[in-house]
Amino acid sequence: MTQPVLSVQELTVEFVTRRGTLRALDKVSFDVARGEVLGVVGESGAGKSVTGSAIIGLIDPPGRIAGGKVVLSGERVDNLPPEEMRRLRGKRIGMIFQDPLTSLNPLYRVGEQLVETIQTHTDLNAADARKRAIALLDEVGIPAPDRRIDGYPHEFSGGMRQRVVIALALCAEPEFIIADEPTTALDVSVQAQIITLIKRLCKERGTSVMLVTHDMGVIAETADRVAVMYAGRVAEVGPVRDVIKEPLHPYTQGLMGAIPSITGEAERLVQIPGSMPRLSSIPKGCAFNPRCSKVFARCHVERPELIDVGGHQVACHLYDQASAGKTEIAA
């Protein structure tokens, strides 16, 4: 197998609080191949954003990476000194967040911000950097880019601003982009345009993307593979079609039935009882066990690891044929 662009291995992130140490990520592992869009889905608090922040070294104290590693094109990056990490961000890893205003400075013209970023990461002179900025704005679908480049962020609509942020993320031709809920704040019709744009750009440039969202529909349409997160862990990873059409993990199965569809015929939505646990009270063994309809003795004592099941990885004891029988007896 060729080397993945990004490999996250047993990544663990903890927040030290007055009430003890909270583990927001617990041994999260996944790979992203070149040109691939990996969707990361999960309900609020699943750990999606923390995963993104950890990859780019932006976990603020009292949070810290407590274990595991992040490998970018073969090179370990989670232990880089802060100065080198800062250089890596923007240059090799681009970022797109939910609120475009967090990435844009309201006081500067859009062009100034693009030119500055381009000049930080390349050795283009000011005139060439400006030309490149105009070309990028054109590429992300800003009409009349040679005029709009001198506008301020507030003069752009929400969708247009998000396009500018995408242009900003592309400035240094990064090999990897983290997009955290890039369309959540946008209306459906604009969301569709942004998704199409991200997909097209990645295909043309061979950029890999980690697309974080709570919207399974967005994933269905955009991602090649998908990782489903629950309570700081990866519950299931696999090709998007398999995970959506034939989910293996009881949580993913429930989730698929819980989502109303514009084509489905379900009279009643599947109901998963309860809600995601707080970090301070994550159940022992399988974190999903209080909500799982298929729970058995082993689930309360032993955490299920990701195992391969037909080209698809799942963390659930139901699929661990070798030891399933034994535990029933032991329990």
Ligand X SMILES: Nc1ncnc2c1ncn2[C@@H]1O[C@H](COP(=O)(O)OP(=O)(O)OP(=O)(O)O)[C@@H](O)[C@H]1O
- 8 Å CB contact between 152 and 109: yes
CA distance 218 to 251: 19
Nearest to 304, CA basis, from 327, 273, 329, 278: 327
Pairing between strand 93-96 and 176-180?
parallel
Q: How many CA atoms lie within 13 A of 141 on its CB side?
A: 15
State whether residue 297 is helix, strand or coil.
helix
Q: Does 209 bind ligand SF4 (CB under 6 A)?
A: no
Which residue from 42, 68, 145, 174 is in contact with ligand X, where contact means CB under 6 A?
42
Residue 270 sits in the site that holds another protein (CB under 8 A)? yes
To ligand SF4, the closest distance from the beta carbon of 23 in angstroms equals: 18
Residue 255 touches another protein, criterion: CB under 8 A? yes
Q: Please check whether residue 224 is in contact with residue 38, taking contact to mean a CB–CB distance below 8 angstroms.
A: yes
Binding mask 285-324 for ligand SF4 (x = CB under 6 A): -x-xx--x-xx---x----x-----------xxx------
Any contact of residue 247 with another protein (CB under 8 A)? no
Nearer to another protein, 55 or 292 (CB): 292
Out of 6, 8, 37, 50, the only residue in the binding site for ligand X (CB under 6 A) is: 50
Report which DSSP code applies to 206.
Answer: T
Alpha helices (H) in 239-320, listed in sequence order: 240-245, 250-258, 297-301
Q: Give the Cα separation of 106 and 289 in Å (integer).
A: 46
Among ligand X, Mg ion, another protein, none, what binds residue 263 when CB lies within 5 to 8 Å by partner kind? another protein
One of 171, 179, 234, 276 touching another protein (CB under 8 A)? 276
Q: Which of residues 181-240 bind ligand X (CB under 6 A)?
A: 214
Residue 99 binds another protein, judged by CB under 8 A: no
How does DSSP classify residue 213?
E
> Is 213:43 a contact under the CB 8 Å cutoff?
no
- In angstroms, give the least distance from the CB of 227 to another protein: 16
Contact pattern for another protein over residues 175 through 214, marking x by CB under 8 A: ------------xxxxxxx-xx-----------------x
> For residues 156 and 164, is the Cβ–Cβ distance under 8 A?
yes
String of b and e for 118-155 (b: at least 16 CB within 10 Å)? bbebeeeeeeebbebbbebbbbbbbeebeebbeeebee
Q: Containing H/E element for 230?
A: strand 225-230
The structure tokens listed for 211 are: 């697309």
Q: How far apart are the first and last CA of the chain?
A: 40
Query: Does residue 172 belong to the site contacting ligand SF4 (CB under 6 A)?
Result: no
Q: Which does 214 bind (CB under 5 to 8 A by kind): another protein, Mg ion, ligand SF4, none?
A: another protein
Q: Which does 47 bind (CB under 5 to 8 A by kind): Mg ion, ligand X, ligand SF4, none?
A: ligand X
| Binds another protein by CB under 8 A, chosen from 66, 258, 297, 307 | 258
Shortest distance, position 308 Cβ to ligand SF4, whole Å: 16
Residue whose pair of structure tokens reads 């199965």 in the numeric block = 253
Q: Where does this chain bind ligand SF4 (CB under 6 A)?
A: 249-250, 286, 288-289, 292, 294-295, 299, 304, 316-318
Q: Where does this chain bind ligand X (CB under 6 A)?
A: 15, 22, 24, 42, 44-50, 63, 214, 279
Q: Where does this chain bind another protein (CB under 8 A)?
A: 43-44, 157, 159-160, 187-193, 195-196, 214-218, 220-222, 240-241, 244-245, 254-264, 266, 268-273, 275-276
